[in-house]
Every structure is written in structure tokens, then in C-alpha cells.
Amino acid sequence: VLFHPNCDAGPDGEIGAVRIGKYKAVLYTGGVPDCSGTIGPLVHHTSPLIFNLALDPSESSPLHPEQKQYQDVLRMTSQALADLLQDIRGDNTSTVDYSTSSDARPCCDENSAICRCTWD
């Protein structure tokens, strides 16, 4: 599963597309410049555009919402997104104040595999 950020097109923190294998469900389109520099209106798709990237790598012909394949992919991508959001909601949030705590200072030990010094 690959989650694509909204790329400044949708609301901050929302996922713009979900890819599972050869399928990609697009939740937002427009709102950012395309290859020609044109900016189209932001559209939030209540029924995502779903593409079979193996057959349509240019994402020009979405699957029809009434197709069984569309419904199967919609279930998979919706569940993957719901699982991601649930995982984020359940995540612990750091309470360290990095402006005053030394916990945020990078370590510098040339004998350590995980520490890097500024001169490395």
C-alpha cells in the first residue's frame, strides 16, 4: 500500500490517493499546476477515481463505479486508508520540548553505527 499526500491540493494532512498493487484510487484532483502549468479547480471525489495502472499508466480512463473490479478495489483502498487513520489516531505523541531538552541533540560518536558527526 502506498499513500500519496494531497500535494497542497486538499486539506492539510489528508491523503490524496491510495495505491494498492496495480490500482490507484484518487480522492482529489486539480488544485495544483499540471505539466502545462494550468491549475484546475480542486475536486474532492466522493466516489474516488480508480485506475488500473497496468492497463492505464497515464490514469486517463478510470474504472466505472458499477464494475465489480471498481467495488473490490474501493473496499481494499478504503480499508487501507481507514487502517492508516486509526493507526495515526492511536499513535503516541511525543511530549518532549525540543526547544529546551537535550533529547533532540544529535549524537556524535565515530564508533557508533547510528550516530553521525557534523564532519562525517
Instruction: Tell me the average pLDDT across 74-93.
Output: 86
> What pLDDT score does 88 carry?
78
Residue 3, all three cell numbers: 499513500
Provide the pLDDT for residue 27.
84
Q: What pLDDT is attached to residue 90?
A: 76
State pLDDT tens for residues 29-75: 666 666 676 766 666 667 899 999 999 999 999 999 999 999 999 99
Is residue 40 within 8 Å of residue 31, measured between CB atoms? yes
H helical segments located in 1-120:
68-89
